[in-house]
Structure 1
Amino acid sequence: MSGPSRAVLLTGASSSTGMSSGTGRAAALRLHRAGRPVYATARRPEALADLAAEGIRVLHLDVNDEESMTAAVEKISAEHGAVGTLINNAAYSLNGTIGETPIDEVRRQFETNLFGLCRLTQLVLPGMRAQGGGRVVMMSSIFGQFATPGRGYYQATKHALEAVSDSLRLEVARDGIKVVLIEPSPVLGGFVPMSVADLGMSGQERGGLYDDFWRYFVDWHGAYRETERPTGRGRMAVRAETVAKVIEKAVTSDNPRIRYRIGVPSRLLPRMRWTIGDALFERFVRAFFPVP
């Protein structure tokens, strides 16, 4: 097979996958329509029937299951020589306070959001090196830059992903492999709890210590449910299709950026923190986000 592989392996393509907010599905469609061989994956491939109907290849892949990851990489390598681009999109958001969230749930969060994607990245690197290049796109978040109450463990995985990506980029640059971070602002429809029960927390977390906080937490996120005509904070959020457009650019550009910060909050807040300092930035977080 001549030339490097153009095949794209994308995790978390189901719109119901954690915090994907449909960005995985939108990116799969966009790259497919641009002529890329796209392999969209999910734990339940039947959830990708609409993508299959579009002609997109769908595969079973669970980032907590080594066998499924190995099988997916081997299939793509057999058909295209190697995985040309890996888009690490699969993730979910664990809700809970640092002191009360059961540690087993914390471990599951890191297994999915960090360790699983690290292992999948390890599996595709040999093929990329053998063909003389490749691309790894890491789906981070605005919350890879700072943290807020109630989602600290999820945000910790995104902070860790930033470090892994920056280290990996320097390690594989000599092999012609590019590593790109995507940092979207909150995505409309991406995190829309209708009640405290929708937060998916254990009974231990709902023991009364933070009841008022969690009710406010749910109400506060109501702004991001308004997907058609958002108002207030929702106007600063971004849409899944906007994120997908940037993912396409990260995949197809000859010289992609190190980071793509999508939306005004993602571009503004890191600069704001650097400018005003940690103490004033924490006052902003206390004023803007739900805080116990």
Structure 2
Amino acid sequence: MTQSRAILLTGASSGTGMSSGSGKATALRLHRAGWPVYATGRNVEALADLADEGITVLYLDVNDEESMTAAVKRITDEHGAVGTLINNAAYSLNGTIGETPMDEVRAQFETNVFGLCRLTQLVLPGMREQGGGRIIMMSSIFGMFATPGRGYYQATKHALEAISDSLRLEVAPFGIKVVVLQPAPILGGFVPDSVADLGMDTHDNPALYRDFWEHFVDWHQAYRLSDNPPLRGKIAVRAENVAKVLETAVSTPNPRIRYRLGMPPRLLPKMRAMIGERGWEKFVRAFFPIP
């Protein structure tokens, strides 16, 4: 069976985390390189510009089994199987560990972890049948460590790292490769203008960390898309850079296990090993917003 070149990309329509924008950039880059791309999202209208480019756009919600099954079936009918799955759909939940309602925590894991796992399960039979395939997981620098205010989101990225490592070894005998991307924060993603933008109206005792959240909002202004970002913004990456690396991960015969985009993901693990856990905690306290 000839291996499919069809690419199923999730999360192309929108994003509320620092990775928003990379989905569309990736769809465009891969399409222009000649790959058959199926760009998917919950808001198909927001994908109109991709459709105008000739990219196939589909409704897919990783919390909706029917939509995932329909997307995989269509690609299988047209190409024999999904050739590459890019698990890009995710969002970032803001909130402290003690005050975030558990229904929001569960929703975060449903989208960022469980939905991703189910879609992966749906594409694997076709990949095994054709004797190969590729699954690319969009992780984050925060799959390496965690900071205050986004612990549950960062926990989903830690989970993704573990799932990817297990899956890689499980599917290797079938010729399927699993690749992880760990980008630094991406310029131009969702940047809050106020504490109200963080969406924590339902959290217990929202005034408990008021000063911290005000600092949190101010701190993230460095990650707005601009030609000359402030210092923290200079170590971030752009959506186009993510798309370029994703193209490499899709097309190279022997991709890396992990692609670390930007200086921080390459430097910080070595730094943590060198300075030890207490030294690392001092660094996190010095660099990131802390209550």
Pairwise TM-score range, normalised by the shorter structure: over 0.9
Q: Which moved more, 1:104-113 or 1:223-232?
A: 223-232
Q: Percent identity?
A: 75
Alignment-derived partner of residue 210 in structure 1: 209
Q: Which moved more, 1:206-215 or 1:77-86?
A: 206-215
Alignment-derived partner of residue 174 in structure 1: 173
Q: Is the 8 A contact 2:135 2:178 kept in 1?
A: yes
Alignment-derived partner of residue 7 in structure 1: 6
Q: Is the 8 A contact 1:133 1:177 kept in 2?
A: yes
Query: Residue type matched to 1:276 in 2?
Result: I
**Distance of aligned partners of 1:108 and 1:248 in 2 relative to their CA distance in 1, 3 Å threshold:** same
Report SS of the residue matched to 2:180.
strand
Q: TM-score, normalised by structure 1?
A: 0.98
Query: Residue type matched to 1:211 in 2?
Result: R
**Distance of aligned partners of 1:16 and 1:156 in 2 relative to their CA distance in 1, 3 Å threshold:** closer
Alignment-derived partner of residue 117 in structure 1: 116
Whole-angstrom distance in 2 between the partners of 1:226 and 1:22? 11
Alignment-derived partner of residue 163 in structure 1: 162
Q: Is the 8 A contact 1:76 1:83 kept in 2?
A: yes
Shift of 1:282: 0.7
Query: Residue type matched to 2:108 in 1?
Result: Q
Report SS of the residue matched to 2:178.
strand
Whole-angstrom distance in 2 between the partners of 1:187 and 1:205? 30
Shift of 1:229: 1.6
Report SS of the residue matched to 1:21.
coil
Shift of 1:226: 4.3
Query: Residue type matched to 1:272 in 2?
Result: M
Whole-angstrom distance in 2 between the partners of 1:182 and 1:262? 7
Report SS of the residue matched to 1:180.
strand
Q: Is the 8 A contact 1:12 1:20 kept in 2?
A: no
Alignment-derived partner of residue 78 in structure 1: 77
Q: Is the 8 A contact 1:64 1:116 kept in 2?
A: yes
Unaligned runs of 5+ residues in structure 2 are none
Map 1:99-114 onto structure 2 (within 5 A): 99-114=98-113
Q: Is the 8 A contact 2:15 2:189 kept in 1?
A: no
Whole-angstrom distance in 2 between the partners of 1:209 and 1:104? 20
Alignment-derived partner of residue 150 in structure 1: 149
Q: Which moved more, 1:159-168 or 1:187-196?
A: 187-196
Moved over 6 A (4+): none
Q: Is the 8 A contact 1:223 1:232 kept in 2?
A: yes
Whole-angstrom distance in 1 between the partners of 2:52 and 2:119? 26
Whole-angstrom distance in 1 between the partners of 2:68 and 2:18? 20
Report SS of the residue matched to 1:277.
helix
Report SS of the residue matched to 2:267.
helix
Report SS of the residue matched to 2:77.
helix
Shift of 1:228: 2.4
Query: Residue type matched to 2:194 in 1?
Result: S
Q: Is the 8 A contact 1:10 1:24 kept in 2?
A: yes
Shift of 1:200: 1.2
Matched residue count: 291
**Distance of aligned partners of 1:207 and 1:18 in 2 relative to their CA distance in 1, 3 Å threshold:** closer
1:96 counterpart = 2:92: no
Alignment-derived partner of residue 255 in structure 1: 254
Q: TM-score, normalised by structure 2?
A: 0.98
Shift of 1:19: 4.2
**Distance of aligned partners of 1:205 and 1:199 in 2 relative to their CA distance in 1, 3 Å threshold:** farther
Report SS of the residue matched to 1:186.
coil
Query: Residue type matched to 2:264 in 1?
Result: P
Q: Is the 8 A contact 1:9 1:41 kept in 2?
A: yes
